Amino acid sequence: MTDLSGAVVLVVGASGGLGSRITALLSAAGATVITASRASGWDLRDGAMPTSLVGVVEREHGRLDGLVITAGVVAFGAADEVSDETVDELFAVNAAGPIRLIRAASALLKASSAEGRSPFVVTLSGVVAESPTAGMAAYSASKAALAAFVSAASRELRRAGVRLLDARPGHIETELSTHPIAGSAPRLRAGLSPDAVAERIVKAVVDGERDLPSSAFAG
């Protein structure tokens, strides 16, 4: 079990439909939540952003016990028509940015473990990391890259007492699909409730789970 009371948790992508709900649940559980988003000036496309952001957290709070990364972008379109600019942005925001954040936060998270707490990282690669989707090939690849990194890094950081948790829900009823960086969303079936997904993720954090495959969000 992970006690969130008093934990210092950084949520990146906190202004989004899912990030805002996770932020509210963490706060309700007693965590001190630091929020970051592109709207507040923290852009994952900036390679220097992760180190700068973690530095701010350390100066203002002295420690970090949890990192939740819900920021992401989506694109639609044929695999043989996706532009270089779209590929670059997908991988910058969905893969490279989260990887840099985890790397930048690792020292503080290890220190949290050494002080007797139960630090964690939550990423959101989504069902496309398990089942790459036609019409979303580049997006699927960027999310699969993140899932692969977390899978390997979790085995390394576990030795230092840091838990990495990747969540892979299916389509969620947020505004992400209505604001793609390229292409237009096809007609999608009704998605998962963002409230239910946020609750499931926070429950997994509290319960000490280490993986949330798409099947964890069924029913």
Mean pLDDT of the chain: 96
Model confidence pLDDT, tens digit, residues 153-205: 999 999 999 999 999 999 999 888 889 999 988 877 888 999 999 999 999 99
The residue ranges of every structural domain in the chain are 8-217
**Under 8 Å between Cβ of 24 and 30:** no
Rounded CA-CA distance 199/141 in Å is 27
pTM, two decimal places: 0.96
Burial class (CB in 10 A: 0-12, 13-18, 19+), 181: middle
List the CATH code of the domain at 8-217.
Answer: 3.40.50.720
Model confidence pLDDT, tens digit, residues 42-99: 999 999 999 999 999 999 999 999 999 999 999 999 999 999 999 999 999 999 999 9
Rounded CA-CA distance 1/30 in Å is 15
